[in-house]
Chains A and B, each alone.
Chain A
Amino acid sequence: MPDTLDLTAVDRWVREFAAVVHDHRDELTELDSPIGDADHGANLDRGLTAALEGLAATPPADAAALLKAVAMAMISKVGGTSGPLYGTFFLRMSGAFGDGSPAAFAASFRAGVDGVVARGKTEPGDKTMVDALLPAVTALEESVQAGKPLAEALRAAADAAAEGRDATTPMLARKGRASYLGERSIGHQDPGATSAAMLVETAASALLRG
């Protein structure tokens, strides 16, 4: 299996992410119900559905163009905070995609996560998607730098994202609608971290599936 990610691989990743979000749409919305405005699943599903429609209407020339098209659909069609955040993630990834080598993919994933952090002015521990994404990108970079195969690096990233997602449950929310709830936000798993863990899990499951 080649360790280079091309248009086909990234297309498979986005489709898989869209499918998993669609299948877990109600679960994401339920997580968003006690600590948010109960729209995370529906919003993400709408944005990703629009993204896939856009890709079908205007097939992208390469992986970077695909990521940019997904970004524009997310910032336009999601409606909620996850729109500009996921949109910025895909936009920054697109700008830094490079040659599709493991190192380039890790760098573009880092650019995406840095974009989310900057856009949301978020810090680790704020109970947001960043709590899943930051451990994931760190694990990805460490594995790639250690010369491990990309499949192994992506698996490490997905596992780190899942741990980061689980760690949001006892956190006190400091961003978004949940922050209005103060202490009552404790004890709920963050919906943004949950969908972000799906993003990384589908990278591990779909990017290299030939």
Chain B
Amino acid sequence: MARTGIVVVSHSRPLAEAAVALARQMLTSSDVPIEVAAGTDDGGLGTDAVAISEAVTAADSGDGVVVLMDLGSAVLSAETSLELLADDLRERVVLSPAPLVEGLIGAAVVAAGGGSRDAVAAEALRGLAPKQAHLA
């Protein structure tokens, strides 16, 4: 069974940790590796490509990692982090354009069920569908 890892990138550490807590509510075990790379190391708002590359490395157990992010520098830092990874790991990383909170919840559920990184990334991208259907 695949063990796809997830990395949450945000400007804000509290925001990222709260999003992970919300997603973990949906899981029956803590088997899914979800790592956070968020905020500056002095506790401020910002993103850090080195921290993201370390989180990706920690989240990977051979089946790859899906990275979810908020906006702006989170996107550029996530892209920059790929340059800092070993070639073989870089090929196992998917940077997802999914909405952070909704995408993370879908991604976590599929990852917990043993989904491949492509399946996890696809579910993250569908994250807005339930809300869109409800409010249509």
Contact = CB atoms under 8 A, between A and B. Distances in A.
Contacts, number: 56
Interface in A48-96: 72, 75-81, 83-85, 87-88, 91
Report the contact-size class of chain B (Cβ under 8 Å from the partner). 10 to 19
Given A79-B40, A91-B83, A85 B76 contact: yes
Interface in B79-115: 79-80, 83
Interface of A: 39, 43, 46, 72, 75-81, 83-85, 87-88, 91, 119-120, 176-177
A77 B76 contact: no
State the 6 A-B residue pairs at the shortest beta-carbon distance, nearest first.
A79-B46, A84-B76, A84-B80, A76-B50, A81-B73, A75-B49
Nearest to B81: A75
Contact of B49 (A39, A43, A46, A83): A83
A84 B48 CA distance: 8
B79 A119 contact: yes
Nearest to B11: A79
Contact of B77 (A43, A46, A84, A91): A84
Contacts of B11: 79
11 contacts: A76-B49, A78-B46, A79-B11, A79-B40, A79-B47, A80-B47, A81-B72, A81-B73, A83-B48, A83-B77, A84-B76
